[in-house]
Amino acid sequence: MDGQNMLALVQGMAWLAQVRETNGYTEKFGLCLSEDDAKLLLAEKNRILRQERRVEFGKGILPQIIYHFCDSSFLTQENYTETLVRLQEIFFRYKNEMMDEISDDELLCFMREQFEEVCYGDLDYLEGTCLEIFAQAIRAGYRGYQASGGRGEFGQFDIATRWDRELYLEALRDLND
């Protein structure tokens, strides 16, 4: 085995160990990654990095994604690994789309907030609507997210009218009049 392959093997083993360590925290939310899940996540991470033409140093973004999302009401053991694969993919795509103007933590905070409060666990809506609109704003020069750490940002860009109980009841009263 040459030096480059040996280094990749050692880095992969260290990464797998770090991902497995997250289980100690996520078990209280009913979530746990098996050895096979961790290996799949590593393979997918490497595929995504090649696809997005990115490199990753240190422990990588997956442990941060896990800690940001593990207490989500939309994650179950059944969809955990698949959701983590998609979140990695979405994260790296939008780091590129936002031209690395946003920090990892700001992007993760924004993603988590939208995932819970706007998308209700719909990754397609997170990727194709919330993040796309936010990325357009950042490419156009918006920097307000820096003061908020990425929290509470989407409302000013959201183009969809959200359901409002009081407005709904008022509309019903108007229909009955």
pLDDT in tens, 145-163: 777 777 776 666 666 555 5
Question: What average pLDDT does range 70-75 have in this prediction?
Answer: 96
Model confidence at 47, pLDDT cuts 50, 70, 90, reads: very high
pLDDT confidence of residue 68: 96
Report the distance separating Cα 119 and Cα 44, nearest Å. 24
Q: Which DSSP category does 60 fall into?
A: -
Task: Provide the residue ranges of all domains of the chain, joining segments of one domain with +.
Answer: 3-176
The alpha carbon of 165 is separated from its chain's Cα centroid by a whole number of angstroms, namely 29
> Which class for 54: exposed (0-12), middle (13-18), buried (19 or more C-beta within 10 A)?
middle
Contact in structure between 54 and 92 (CB atoms under 8 Å): yes
Tens-place pLDDT, residues 48-70: 888 888 887 767 899 999 999 99
Q: Count other C-beta atoms under 10 Å from residue 48's C-beta.
A: 19
Model confidence at 7, pLDDT cuts 50, 70, 90, reads: very low
